[in-house]
Structure 1
Amino acid sequence: MESVKTIESIKRNIENHIGEKVTLKANGGRKKILINNGVIESAHPSIFVVRLDNDIPRKVTYSYSDVLTKTVQLYFAL
């Protein structure tokens, strides 16, 4: 994801990619990095929802501030 400066620009960027595939790289704590593939399902005023493509289908939510602080990094499919 390109470097964005504000939560509003992060939110707009994620809203523009709803329904698209994304690779999600999240800090799991204790030096653990979680990497998953999924689809951005929806965007709400303070969070966004990603449906993961795993053996067991599940959804995860993150806040836009997680992207701003780089706790979560999104890489959109080309």
Structure 2
Amino acid sequence: MPISLAAIKDKLDSRIGQRMKVVAQAGRKKTTERHGILKETYRSVFVVDLDQQENAFERVSYSYTDVLTKNVQIAFDDETTEA
């Protein structure tokens, strides 16, 4: 069954406040891995508050489309598979 943007948002809505890992494509064969807490979800993006000891900035946002197209992969600390 194909995953929709609404299904991705619904899953994230139920996980607000939980720790997560985000792996994002950063160009040619480069990825960035960040850890933080899912802070908020909006109509087309979600916001992650980042761990301050790892990152120079406080938060980052990603679109649900990035997750759908696999440009961004997310995993919560209590699960072993990625969304």
Unaligned regions of 5+ residues in structure 2, if any?
79-83
8 Å CA contact 1:51–1:57 kept in 2: the answer is no
Which secondary structure does the structure 1 equivalent of 2:26 belong to? strand
CA shift digits 1:13-45 (9 cap, x unpaired): 011110000011100112111011100000001
Please, which runs of 5 or more residues in structure 1 have no aligned partner?
Answer: none
Rounded Cα–Cα distance in structure 2 between residues aligned with 1:77 and 1:57:
21
Identity %: 37
Which runs of 4 or more aligned residues in structure 1 lie more than 4 Å from their structure 2 counterparts after TM superposition?
Answer: none
TM-score, normalised by the number of residues in structure 1: 0.90
Quote the offset at 1:58 in angstroms.
1.2
Q: Alpha carbon RMSD of aligned pairs, Å?
A: 1.6
- Asked which structure has the greater RCO (Cα within 8 Å, sep 6+), the reply is 1
More strand as a share of residues: 1
Q: Which amino acid aligns with 1:35?
A: E
Partner Cα separation in structure 1 for residue 30 and residue 50 of structure 2: 18
1:44 pairs with 42, 45, 50, which one?
42
The normalised TM-score by structure 2 is 0.84
